[in-house]
Amino acid sequence: MVIQKNLSIAHAWFEAFNSHNLEKLISLYDDEAKHYSPKLKIRLPETNGLVTGKEALREWWRDAFERLPSLHYKVTSLTANSDRVFMEYIRIVDQEDNMLVAEVLEIKEGFIVASRVYHG
């Protein structure tokens, strides 16, 4: 039951992300959620790749959606257990090479409390 709920959160995450529905995306996260991404570390070096809280997440993704209007993800694999979902997807942006990405969503009480992005 919990595993299915976690998979449904992951599906909702992709739906919100790919439609660039910022508020729906943010609503999936806990108020104090942490997000780590190598792209964050490059774009905002002062963060060392980590942001905390919904407002920081909102600003990060708002910037990404504005800079990269074609940004979307193609899911290749979802693996869930009782407290996390491991997601593999292809990052697709016009005029950029496709990028293979792995991301882990840690989920507690129906909300994402942490997410970590991995890519080369």
Q: What is the mean pLDDT of each run of 10 residues along the chain (120 residues)?
A: 96 98 98 97 95 97 97 98 97 97 97 95
The confidence score (pLDDT) of residue 84 equals: 98
Domain at 2-118: CATH architecture: Roll (3.10)
3-class SS of residue 50: strand
**Measuring CA to CA, how many Å separate 104 from each of 66, 81, 96, 117?**
24, 11, 24, 7
Whole-model pTM: value is 0.95
Above pLDDT 70, what percent of the chain?
100
Q: Which two tokens stand for residue 43?
A: 């774009």
| Phi–psi pair at 119, nearest 5 degrees | -160, 165
